[in-house]
Amino acid sequence: MLSLDPLGLDSAMLDEARAYLRVEPAEDDPSLAAAVMAALGHAEQFTRTILIRRNASEILSACSGWQILEAVPVQSIAAVTGVPAEGARFLLANDAWEAKIGSHGDAYIRIINPGIAGRVEISCQSGLAPDWSSLPEILRLGVLRLAAHFYAHRDCATDAGPPAAARVLLLPWRRLRLI
């Protein structure tokens, strides 16, 4: 189970969305901010990639085999916490687990000595770019296209869904996973 820290809407993101949609500053900021955040969330779900860096945690089985984390791309693993069936959580020592992070941010972890833990919580920092301005232009444009759609159709009951142009912009960044 993956959980992410909430992403705050930074001013660069909102300013670029205003300019793209030709909306006057402070005219409809709450609706525009909601559309941008929805677009970013939609893009992250579609690409299976955390776009803007933030803290994440994931709970996995404490089995001894290699397991892959969902929170990609992983920048670093901060801690591994044992989650026993009963009792308090505890921090696993660094020699009780092993992690490997690939060049594309895929992270693999295996638990060598879980102690009494049946599950473990992996705390990491994940994300493609440190902030909105650092995202590749094609991704920013895809998110802006989605935001424009969500903003324009916010009161439309018969919305047919996001435009194909947004999907085309995001598609090269989509990660596929074979299970």
Domains in the chain (CATH in brackets) are 2-51+129-173 (1.10.3230), 54-126 (no CATH)
Instruction: For the chain, give the longest Cα–Cα distance.
Output: 58
Please provide residue 76's backbone torsions phi and psi, each rounded to the nearest 5 degrees.
-160, 155
Both tokens of 22, joined, read: 């030709």
- For every one of its 179 residues, what pLDDT tens digit does the chain have, with 9 covering 90 and above? 788 888 888 889 999 999 999 988 777 788 899 999 999 999 999 999 999 999 999 999 999 899 999 999 999 999 999 999 998 999 999 999 999 999 999 999 999 999 999 999 999 999 999 999 999 999 999 999 999 999 988 877 778 888 899 999 999 999 887 66
pTM for this one? 0.86
**Which residues does residue 11 pair with via DSSP β-bridges, in sequence order?**
none
Which residues of 24-175 form beta strands (DSSP E)?
54-61, 67-68, 74-84, 90-91, 97-101, 107-111, 117-126
For residue 4, what is the enclosing H or E element? strand 2-4
